Amino acid sequence: MKGKWFVIVNPNAGKQKGKHDWKRISGLLYSAGIEYQSHFTEHRGHAIVLAREYISAGYRKIIVVGGDGTLNEVVNGIFTQSAVAPAEIILGMIPVGTGNDWCRMFSILGDYHKAIAMIKREKIFIQDVGLLEYANGSGNKELRYFVNIAGMGFDALVLEKTNKDKEKGKGSPLMYMINIFTSLFSFRTTRTKIKIDGDDFSPEVFSMTAAIGKFNGGGLKQAPEAVADDGLFDLTIIRPISKFKVIRNVMNLMDGSFTKLPEVSSFKTANIQIESVPDLYAEADGESLGHTPFRFSLLPSALRIIRGEPEQS
């Protein structure tokens, strides 16, 4: 099993693009000489179970055919199994989701031929992995690994609305932008207590992100200075800001220049603790989670992934 790939396919990803395009993708995998076994996910959280099960069965190479959420589930399967060290696993991606923000960071293309050619080449990059401890609805602690961005406050609210749109078949980067505008009229800032590198401060928070990757929300550059293997989160805090200013600067999310606003502060740190009153909610890699208190820790150089060729500047 060691050289054979296990392919986890989310048939519902990208408005059921995973289901409709699987015949084509499987044919391209066969033509490329990639030996594999595949399995479709059947429900939320199933990719976690499949990753654990097939790693235990001897597989050390996994391909995800899906979006950011499917990838996140597979990562959580890798880091919660006990058969081998996570560093022994190689993870590849054929993106069929609506956002594909993690793929943007690593130049993994949506063109199936090119994505499969990248997997065939097996150019390895070893990236950091984040771990978020949070409270669920019952107040109990839960853990979630993530490989791209965790968002809190306004970011989490927008993502939650966008996920509900996806369930109705309306998910798209455009819906994310629309939800930014509609959420402005219901969201309230939150008083927080934040600890990073031993320093405490208590800002009123509109939105926050703890980032390993640069992109979120379907290509918005929410963490322009993030480096996926530097052993640090890029923590961005947006303090109270007027609705008009958000609307006026929303396009600055495209190139990351919003970070120059006076209401925005950025830090690099490996550990973050956050408390708040009232509760602040979070999402990670596009998956809506629970609420404060949060504890972020970073696992440096923890995951071997297959990447594309970075764009030349």
Q: Are residues 192 and 247 in the same domain?
A: yes
Using a 10 angstrom Cβ sphere, with 0-12 exposed, 13-18 middle and 19 or more buried, the burial of residue 90 is: middle
Domain interval for residue 91: 5-122
The whole-chain average pLDDT of the chain stands at 93
Q: Confirm whether 310 is domain-assigned.
A: no
Please give the pLDDT value at position 171: 66
Please give the pLDDT value at position 154: 95
Low-confidence ranges of the chain (pLDDT < 50): 312-313
Please give the pLDDT value at position 312: 45
Angstrom distance (rounded) from CA 159 to CA 211: 15
Work out whether strand 61-66 and strand 90-95 pair parallel, antiparallel, or are unpaired.
parallel
CB atoms within 10 A of CB 41: 23
Work out whether strand 61-66 and strand 5-9 pair parallel, antiparallel, or are unpaired.
parallel
Percent of the chain with pLDDT over 90: 83
Q: Partners of 195 in the beta sheet?
A: 200, 273
Report residue 249: phi and psi, to 5°. -110, 5
Angstrom distance (rounded) from CA 277 to CA 148: 26
Q: Partners of 211 in the beta sheet?
A: 149, 234
Please give the pLDDT value at position 214: 96
Angstrom distance (rounded) from CA 82 to CA 84: 6
Per-residue pLDDT tens digits for 110-125: 899 999 999 999 999 9
Number of compact structural domains in the chain: 2
CATH number, domain of 50, equals 3.40.50.10330
Q: Are residues 154 and 63 in the same domain?
A: no
pTM reported for the whole predicted model: 0.94
Please give the pLDDT value at position 174: 78
DSSP secondary structure code for residue 279 in this structure: -
Please give the pLDDT value at position 20: 96
User: What is the C-alpha radius of gyration for the chain, rounded to an integer number of angstroms?
Assistant: 19
